[in-house]
Amino acid sequence: MSKQLYDLGDQPPLGEVPEKMHAWLIRADRFGKPMDAFQKEVVSTPSIADDEVLVYVMAAGINYNNVWAAMGIPVNVIGARNKAGETEDFHIGGSDASGIVYKVGKDVTNVKVGDEVVMHCGTYSRNCEWVKKGGDPMYSPTFKIWGYETNFGSFAQFTRVQAQQCMPKPKHMNWEEAAAYTLVAATAWRMLHGWESHSIKKGDVALIWGGAGGLGSMAIQIVKAAGATSVAMVSGEDKFDYCMKLGAKGCINRNEFEHWGMLPHWKDGAGYAKWLKGVRSFGSKIWEVLGEKRAPNLVFEHPGETTIPTSIFVCETGGMVVVCAGTTGYNATVDLRYLWMRQKRLQGSHFANTVQSNEMNQLALSGQLDPCLSRAFTYEELPVAHQLMGDNKHPHGNMAVLIGATQFGLGASGKPAVAMVHPTLPKGDVHTTPHPYPLSAPLPGIAEGEPLTITDDGTKVRDLMHAGIISCTPEDTVGTVAKIMVDKEIHAVVVMEQGKAVGVVSQTDMVLARQGRTPDQARSMLAREIMTPGCATCDADMLLSDAVSLMTGRRMHRLVVTDKDQPAGVISMTDVVRKIIGG
């Protein structure tokens, strides 16, 4: 008679599935710090569908997704599943694992009981019409990340997965190494090999952001295996050796440059020139590292907002910038002239499909992909691992936690076809990477008419605006406009023509006008020549929050207020700051 529950580490006979299992659970009433949110519990072992597999988990990989799941933000994953009809009031996370197949559904043909496997985290319904027609499952509306968007991930004795998620475990890796690489490596594989004509190939050059990070360390190795050359970006010279051992030709310390961030406005000649100088010297550094004047055919992007302008600029004509995250922010600014004139591609990429995950795994099986495991934890330490990650105090590289394996270092048998060097990260190296968004979370779409949340108190523009318009004509000189500004102590003058506001001359426009000109030359210019045309307006009855969105969206500081279609005043960001912060 089989046992109802096995102690942790007491492996049930092969193929015997106990009724209950040990697991780390998150529940809604303890959402918060990972240290508190994860609790050990005993739950029923999940049943499986015909296309599913039950895997006895030996080790699980740690990813940031389950820090988010623990906190219950930005999505309550339990609530979302309950809404979709699932009944469990808990979440068992874990989107990476190694283990042994214990049970298979009747339609499963690719694995059998006893197989040692690793799992990728991409799930989708096999009944999805798009998938049935041969479409990429990554575009299926049913696509979900196992162990984040689905329940019964790898932080338990048994995990429920779709058969298509199972891939052979590299024999030369121990359990915790095998549990560490799949999510990041498969993501990097799709980025580098998933975009047709721009796939990395022999002779290409790739620029890899975050070369010592989870994705970057995988990318360097994938580029090397393709016979291409990589230049790795890091934040300190202490990480050069690590990236070079993984296969980078050379490295660049991003802290040697200062031009990061959103692009200066193209009208800001001085700012743009300074940015160009910075990005050009960065480009020269790439040449120096490569030992030849070549631009990267492919740029492997994930920092986003602060690096995209540079990535687009340095990318080779006809090359591709491929991006899977916006760690530093989501508003990527692009100088479109470089994009269209030099016909570059900016490509979004998310995780990987079954075929791509298996292609990546071939590299791991052959020994050409080091899992870059930087730290492994015991079962008891699972919340600690997540807390460290949440606090950005975890080491670079990939982390794993033992589940069924009783000791570190077990599970390896055999040697890889290709011997690999195990690189080690500098001591005391910790992350500084912000994690503003989980790997997968629903984005608002056209169909989801979500109610707008007004963050202010219903204040209208009319309550805060400055009544009356201080204006000039398009033919007034800049000297005249400057005098109006100084006399009236205002930051902008509205340009009126035949009773209509046709533009605004702001202090910024004045400063831009002075660039490359003497004060006299600037003063004799006309308002028409320097104004920002197409004056943005709002109605006096518009909510203040809407007016603010209008200004931030257009990166402008003021709006002309109209009342019954007639210009009636001005509302500026200064007025907003005065109201929301005071002073």
Binder of ligand NAP out of 193, 302, 344, 558 (CB under 6 A): 302
Min separation Cβ 165 and ligand NAP, Å: 15
Task: Print the binding letters for residues 218-237 with ligand NAP: x by CB under 6 A, - otherwise.
Answer: ---------------xxx--
Residues in 463-522 at the binding interface with ligand NAP, rule: CB under 6 A? none
User: Cα(334)–Cα(305) distance, rounded to whole angstroms?
Assistant: 10
User: Cα(295)–Cα(282) distance, rounded to whole angstroms?
Assistant: 11
Binder of ligand NAP out of 94, 137, 170, 214 (CB under 6 A): 214
When asked if residue 350 is in the footprint of ligand NAP (CB under 6 A), the reply is: yes
When asked if residue 325 is in the footprint of ligand NAP (CB under 6 A), the reply is: yes
When asked if residue 373 is in the footprint of ligand NAP (CB under 6 A), the reply is: no
When asked if residue 239 is in the footprint of ligand NAP (CB under 6 A), the reply is: yes
371 with 345: CB under 8 angstroms?
A: no
When asked if residue 209 is in the footprint of ligand NAP (CB under 6 A), the reply is: yes
- For residue 83, give every residue at least 6 positions away whose Cβ sits within 8 Å of its Cβ, in sequence order, or none: none
User: Cα(348)–Cα(320) distance, rounded to whole angstroms?
Assistant: 10
Question: Where would I find the beta strands (DSSP E) of 409-491?
Answer: 466-467, 471-472
Min separation Cβ 62 and ligand NAP, Å: 11
Nearer to ligand NAP, 162 or 307 (CB): 307
Q: Which residue has the tokens 């707008």?
A: 452
Min separation Cβ 150 and ligand NAP, Å: 16
- For residue 25, give every residue at least 6 positions away whose Cβ sits within 8 Å of its Cβ, in sequence order, or none: 38, 39, 40, 41, 43, 90, 91, 92
Longest dimension (CA), the chain: 98
Min separation Cβ 332 and ligand NAP, Å: 13
Query: Could you tell me how many residues of this chain bind ligand NAP (CB under 6 A)?
Result: 31
- For residue 342, give every residue at least 6 positions away whose Cβ sits within 8 Å of its Cβ, in sequence order, or none: 317, 318
Binder of ligand NAP out of 153, 194, 213, 264 (CB under 6 A): 213
When asked if residue 433 is in the footprint of ligand NAP (CB under 6 A), the reply is: yes
User: Cα(284)–Cα(571) distance, rounded to whole angstroms?
Assistant: 45
Answer positive or negative: Cα dihedral of 21, 24, 28, 30: positive
When asked if residue 208 is in the footprint of ligand NAP (CB under 6 A), the reply is: no
When asked if residue 333 is in the footprint of ligand NAP (CB under 6 A), the reply is: no
Residues in 542-561 at the binding interface with ligand NAP, rule: CB under 6 A? none
Nearer to ligand NAP, 110 or 235 (CB): 235
Min separation Cβ 431 and ligand NAP, Å: 5
User: Cα(194)–Cα(296) distance, rounded to whole angstroms?
Assistant: 17
When asked if residue 62 is in the footprint of ligand NAP (CB under 6 A), the reply is: no
Binder of ligand NAP out of 37, 54, 173, 212 (CB under 6 A): 212
Distance of CA 301 to the CA centre of its chain: 9
Please choose, from the candidates 178, 116, 569, the residue with its C-alpha nearest in 3D space to the C-alpha of residue 398.
178
Chain contacts with ligand NAP (rule: CB under 6 A):
64, 184, 187, 209-210, 212-216, 233-235, 239, 254, 302-303, 306-307, 324-325, 327-328, 350-351, 396, 431-433, 435, 439
